[in-house]
């Protein structure tokens, strides 16, 4: 197995999560293992006129516990979520800014939607009160790169910094880009992941009109997100943020950092098929997994667990299952597969990072979280999705995949940390 040198190997040393089922990695993981749903009727606004009236909201989030009040007033919710997750990840990594080279600490944070809530709010101000009343902070509130910029400002990180926006693959791409910065020697520490706050009237209406959201479970929200189940009818929109701290192994060892897992490989492809529908053959999604495994120098049969994109849409889950079978062959039947989205809903551009935290937690805990709402067998989705109950199992190597509108596919590979 190719291991590389301590300068090129990359490890995860801290993880922070703000999710619909828990704030902080411990609460989040507890929710996943217990199979707790974060889906309920929308409270951020009155959804009465919308065909879909449910979402997975982050409840009980007080931004001022993590962010200065002045920053809260001038920032969109997605930035506040990112700042909170970043602070938790940095604390988790025991990363002291005074003890690192800030010129070699970078930030890459992805978002598929950015500050849409601020755009909607300030457009109402424009319509009702005129252009002179629009907030002077609208532009920095709405642009997707501002979350990474605010994290850098808060902590003094002066290394590579930019945003990635590739729909629901955004945070996986941000993590993959950060991995490459570290492997090329352009940084020693990267803060990366994704944040999303899309539960707004316009965003809900748009996804509904696209036919992406389920409208069949308004009266039973907890049953709405049901990846790989025969009764699935669309995804449930979610919000939140996931941020991880990546470091070169040499840097992590030098400062005595806690090591959660090794980030061993990454790859991305595109279907080049349709703006919203995945390729029915799953060819490019399969190729992303194959390339990521090759990047990690792992064989398919060495993978113990797969955190699926698993959106709960009729097409995604069937085509993703086909892609998994293509990559893993007979070993696909031995894989434990679960969808975090069954509990968190779909966090769009934040999904990949939040799901990477789940994947690493599986490795650390020896427990695989379930896919809830697995009640009705679909003959096209006939693999082991760890239905409804968490399972004890040692996981040494795992992959997590994300797909996005535009045909984007991305896969990260993680393995148990070893010397």
Dist CA 325 CA 319 (whole Å): 10
Question: Among the options 346, 362, 397, 408, which is catalytic?
Answer: 346
Dist CA 151 CA 73 (whole Å): 16
Residue pointed to by tokens 């998994």: 324
**Cα dist from 44 to 121, 197, 345, whole Å:** 13, 11, 16
Dist CA 223 CA 217 (whole Å): 7
Structure tokens at 277: 């529908």
Dist CA 409 CA 93 (whole Å): 29
SS3 181: helix
How far is residue 97 CA from its own chain's centroid? 26
Dist CA 161 CA 63 (whole Å): 23
**Cα dist from 83 to 179, 192, 225, whole Å:** 21, 11, 27
SS3 300: helix
- E strands, 158-260, are 161-164, 189-196, 240-248
Q: With contact defined as beta carbons under 8 Å apart, do 280 and 311 qualify?
A: no
Question: Among the options 168, 192, 260, 362, which is catalytic?
Answer: 168
φ/ψ of residue 27, rounded to 5: -65, -40
Q: Decide if 173 is catalytic.
A: no
Compute the Cα dihedral for 382, 388, 394, 398 and give only its sign: positive
Question: Among the options 173, 309, 369, 408, which is catalytic?
Answer: 309
Q: Decide if 203 is catalytic.
A: no
Q: Decide if 309 is catalytic.
A: yes
CA nearest neighbour of 365 among 5, 6, 30, 90: 30
If you ran DSSP here, which 8-state letter would residue 346 be given? B
* Residues recognised as catalytic: 168, 309, 346
């Amino acid at each position: 197995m190719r291991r590389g040198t301590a300068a090129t190997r990359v490890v995860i040393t801290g993880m922070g999560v703000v999710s619909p089922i828990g704030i902080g990695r411990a609460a989040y993981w507890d929710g996943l293992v217990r199979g707790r749903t974060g889906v309920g009727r929308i409270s951020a606004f009155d959804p009465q006129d919308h065909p879909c009236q449910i979402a997975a909201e982050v409840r009980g989030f007080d931004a001022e516990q993590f962010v200065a009040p002045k920053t809260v007033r001038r920032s969109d919710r997605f930035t506040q979520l990112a700042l909170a997750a970043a602070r938790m990840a940095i604390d988790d990594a025991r990363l002291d800014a005074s003890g690192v080279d800030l010129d070699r600490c970078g930030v890459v944070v992805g978002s598929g939607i950015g500050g849409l809530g601020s755009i909607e709010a300030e457009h109402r101000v424009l319509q009702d009160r005129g252009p002179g009343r629009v907030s002077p902070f609208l532009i920095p509130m709405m642009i997707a790169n501002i979350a990474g910029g605010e994290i850098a400002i808060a902590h003094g990180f002066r290394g590579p910094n930019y945003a990635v926006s590739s729909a629901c693959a955004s945070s996986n791409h941000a993590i993959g880009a950060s991995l490459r910065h570290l492997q090329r020697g352009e940084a020693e520490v990267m803060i990366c992941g994704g944040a999303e706050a899309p539960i707004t009237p316009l965003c809900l209406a748009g996804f509904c009109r696209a036919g992406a959201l389920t409208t069949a479970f308004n009266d039973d929200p907890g049953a709405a997100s049901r990846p790989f189940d025969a009764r699935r009818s669309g995804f449930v929109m979610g919000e939140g943020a996931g941020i991880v701290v990546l470091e070169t192994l040499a840097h992590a060892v030098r400062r005595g950092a806690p090591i959660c897992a090794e980030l061993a490989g990454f790859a991305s492809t595109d279907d080049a098929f349709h703006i919203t529908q995945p390729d029915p053959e799953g060819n490019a999604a399969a190729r992303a997994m194959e390339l990521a495994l090759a990047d990690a120098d792992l064989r398919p049969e060495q993978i113990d667990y797969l955190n699926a994109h698993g959106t709960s849409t009729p097409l995604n889950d069937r085509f993703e299952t086909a892609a998994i079978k293509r990559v893993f062959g007979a070993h696909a039947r031995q894989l434990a597969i679960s969808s975090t989205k069954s509990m968190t809903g779909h966090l769009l551009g934040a999904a990949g990072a939040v799901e990477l935290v789940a994947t690493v937690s599986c490795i650390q805990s020896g427990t695989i979280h379930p896919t809830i709402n697995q009640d009705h067998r679909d003959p096209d989705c006939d693999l082991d999705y760890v239905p409804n109950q968490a399972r004890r199992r040692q996981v040494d190597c795992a992959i997590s995949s994300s797909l996005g509108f535009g045909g984007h596919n991305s896969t990260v590979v993680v393995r148990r940390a070893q010397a």
